[in-house]
Amino acid sequence: MSSSENWISVAKLADVPAGAAVAVETMGLQLALCHVEGGTVHAIDNVCTHAFALLTDGWFEGCLIECPLHAGQFDVTNGQGQGAPIDEDVRAYRTKVVDGDIFIELPG
C-alpha cells in the first residue's frame, strides 16, 4: 500500500460472509459492508439519506439493501437510491480485499 493512496483496512473478510451486510465504524465514518452473494464486498455509507436509520438494520438481498424505517432501497454496488422515498444516493467507496482484509478508499 503506497502512501499516496488513501486505502484503510476496515474489517476481515471472514467477518463479512456472503449475503451479509455488516456495520463498521471507523475514522468517523459509519459504513455498511455488503458482501453480494457470488460477488464481492461493497462499502456504502450506512446512514440512510432519507431520515435517520442504519441500513444494516434493514434487509439485504442481491445487490439491494432496504432501509428498516420506510423501506427505501439502495444499490450497494454504487450507492444509488432506487426511488421514493429516497431522493439522494448514499456515498459508495471503492473496495479491495488483500490477504483476507477488506480495504476502502477514503474520499479525497
Query: How far apart are alpha carbons 23 and 84 in whole angstroms?
Result: 24
Phi, psi dihedral angles at 55 (to 5 degrees): -60, -30
**Closest CB 107 distance from ligand FES, rounded Å:** 22
Long-range pairs, 30-34, Cβ under 8 A, ≥24: 30/54, 31/93, 31/104, 32/56, 32/65, 32/76, 33/102, 34/60, 34/65, 34/76
Smallest gap from Cβ 57 to ligand FES, in A, equals: 10
Contact between 85 and ligand FES per CB under 6 A: yes
DSSP helix/strand/coil, 15: helix
Cell numbers describing residue 93: 467507496
Binding status of residue 72 toward ligand FES by CB under 6 A: yes
40 binds ligand FES (CB under 6 A): no
Residue 64 binds ligand FES (CB under 6 A) = no
Nearest-approach distance from CB 42 to ligand FES, in angstroms: 18
Q: Which is nearer to ligand FES, 15 or 87 (CB)?
A: 87
Q: Which residues bind ligand FES (CB under 6 A)?
A: 48, 50-51, 53, 67, 69-70, 72, 85
